[in-house]
Structure 1
Amino acid sequence: MRVAIASDHGGFEQKQALVDYLTNELGCEVSDMGPDSDASVDYPDFAVKVAQAVSTNEADRGVLVCGTGIGMALAADKVAGVRASSITSVPFAELFRQHNNGNVVCLSGRFVDLDLNKEIVKTFLTTEFEGGRHEARVAKVMALD
Structure 2
Amino acid sequence: MFMEGGMDQLIVACDHGAWILKDELVKHIRANHTLDVCDLGVNGPESVDYPAYAAELCRRIGRGEARRGVLLCGTGLGMSMAANRFKGIRAALCHDEFTARMSRRHNDANVLVIGGRVTGPGLAASIIDIWLTEPFEGGRHQRRIDGLDAFGSV
In the superposition, the TM-score normalised over structure 1's length comes to 0.96
Coordinate RMSD, CA, aligned: 1.0
| SS of residue paired to 1:143 | helix
Preserved contact between residue 70 and residue 85 of structure 1 (Cα < 8 Å):
no
The residue identity in structure 2 corresponding to 1:19 is: V
Residue 136 of structure 1, CA deviation: 0.7
Corresponding residue number in structure 2 for 1:72: 79
Alpha-carbon distance in structure 2 between the residues aligned to 1:115 and 1:143 = 37
Alpha-carbon distance in structure 2 between the residues aligned to 1:50 and 1:142 = 19
The residue identity in structure 1 corresponding to 2:84 is: D
Percent identical across equivalent pairs?
A: 37
The one of 108, 123, 128 equivalent to 1:121 is 128
The residue identity in structure 1 corresponding to 2:62 is: S
The one of 130, 137, 143 equivalent to 2:144 is 137
| SS of residue paired to 1:27 | coil
Q: Which runs of 4+ in 1 moved over 3 A?
A: none
Alpha-carbon distance in structure 2 between the residues aligned to 1:130 and 1:83 = 15
| SS of residue paired to 1:100 | coil
Preserved contact between residue 65 and residue 109 of structure 1 (Cα < 8 Å):
yes
The one of 8, 16, 37 equivalent to 1:30 is 37
Alpha-carbon distance in structure 1 between the residues aligned to 2:138 and 2:149 = 14
Asked if 1:81 corresponds to 2:88, the answer is yes
**Structure 1 unmatched runs, 5+:** none
In the superposition, the TM-score normalised over structure 2's length comes to 0.91
Corresponding residue number in structure 1 for 2:97: 90
**Structure 2 unmatched runs, 5+:** 1-7
Asked if 1:54 corresponds to 2:89, the answer is no
Residue 74 of structure 1, CA deviation: 0.4
